[in-house]
Amino acid sequence: MPVASDTDGLDDAVDRSGDDDGDLPINELFCSLQGEGRLAGVPSVFVRTSGCNLRCWFCDSYHTSWEPTGDWYGVDALVAAVESYDAAHVVLTGGEPLVHERSVDLLESLAARGYHTTVETNGTIYRDAPIDLASVSPKLESSTPTAERDPKGDGEWADRHDARRLDVDVLAEFVEAYDTQLKFVVTGPDDMPEIEALVADVRAAADAPVPDEAVLLMPEGQTRDRLAETRRVVADLALEYGYRYTPRLHVDLWNDAPGT
């Protein structure tokens, strides 16, 4: 069922009708191996919320952003679903899970039961919650859905996306509050000056260190064929700049199959 609109404004990122009942709009919930970042390979339950305040043209969860779909679930039902799997790690992802205030309730319930929680976020909205690993993926200029790259329209979202996609002070808040990895989707060497500048800005703004190994370069690509083109380039960039390379294990293993 559709849960969101693509109209303007953060409050319109999702239909808010379920929030009053303490529910979250959920696109999917499944168990798989974490495919990206420091915990790649770890069995994890993925809770994917629907709705996002951005519209990256390459979004690999189109049905949580460009055309958000899902159903509303209460926190207790979600925790019960998580507990039905044999995994100690939970990844709260989206969409942008932190557009939803109720994500904090879910994270608190999971923490109370001893789960390790990772939150996959675009780093534009900060919330105070029990997050064991903040996996923050700042969006570069190359993410903007210009008319030529818009998967749905003619660039109507480009200005809003561009205005919202980076907030250095919010990124600094994540770094200060949580064990944080900064994960960048990289298309090629042209992205590196922007990444270097942004990492420098976050380091200057945060009262906590951002070591090079907390900066992850991830090849752009949602299919094995596309990754075959980008991963060697990005691996070489990681070596050159001293940052960490992260695979997209789920694409390597399952290509673009849903629920992986």
Supply the DSSP symbol for 83. Answer: H
Stretch of residues binding ligand SF4 (CB under 6 A), selected from 11-19, 55-63, 70-78, 203-211: 55-63
Smaller CB separation from ligand SF4, 32 or 50: 50
| Amino acid of residue 153 | G
**How many whole angstroms separate alpha carbon 122 and alpha carbon 53?**
9
Q: Is 4 in the site for ligand SF4 (CB under 6 A)?
A: no
Residue among 129 and 185 whose Cβ is closer to ligand SF4: 185
Query: Applying CB under 6 A, does 61 fall inside the site for ligand SF4?
Result: yes
Check: CB of residue 218 under 8 Å from CB of residue 248: yes
**Displacement of CA 248 from its chain's centroid (Å):** 13
The residue range among 19-27, 59-67, 77-85, 195-203 that interacts with ligand SF4, by the rule CB under 6 A, is 59-67
The interface region with ligand SF4, picked from 26-34, 57-65, 67-75, 190-198 by CB under 6 A, is 57-65
User: Does 54 contact ligand SF4 by CB under 6 A?
Assistant: yes
CA–CA gap between residue 250 and residue 236 (Å, rounded):
21
Q: Write out the binding residues for ligand SF4, residues 163-192 only, by CB under 6 A.
A: none
Please state the closest distance from residue 242 (CB atom) to ligand SF4, in A.
26
How far apart, in whole angstroms, are the C-alpha atoms of residue 98 and residue 78?
16
52 binds ligand SF4 (CB under 6 A): yes
Exactly one of 55, 63, 231, 248 binds ligand SF4 (CB under 6 A); that residue is 55
Residue 226, SS3?
A: helix
Q: Which residue has the tokens 């808010």?
A: 16
Q: Which CB sits closer to ligand SF4, 79 or 123?
A: 123
| Shortest Å distance, C-beta 26 to ligand SF4 | 14
Distance, CA of 145 to CA of 205 (rounded, Å): 28
- Amino acid (one-letter) located at 88: A
Going 94 to 95 to 97 to 98, the CA torsion angle's sign is positive
Residue selected from 34, 44, 50, 65 as contacting ligand SF4 according to rule CB under 6 A: 65
The residue count for binding ligand SF4 (CB under 6 A) is 13
From candidates 64, 118, 142, 181, binder to ligand SF4 by CB under 6 A: 64
Alpha-carbon gap, residue 205 to 215, rounded angstroms:
16
- Between 114 and 258, CB nearer to ligand SF4: 258
Instruction: Determine what percent of the chain falls in helix, strand and coil, rounding each to the nearest 5.
Output: 40, 20, 40
Binding residues for ligand SF4 (CB under 6 A): 52, 54-56, 59, 61, 64-65, 94-96, 122, 139
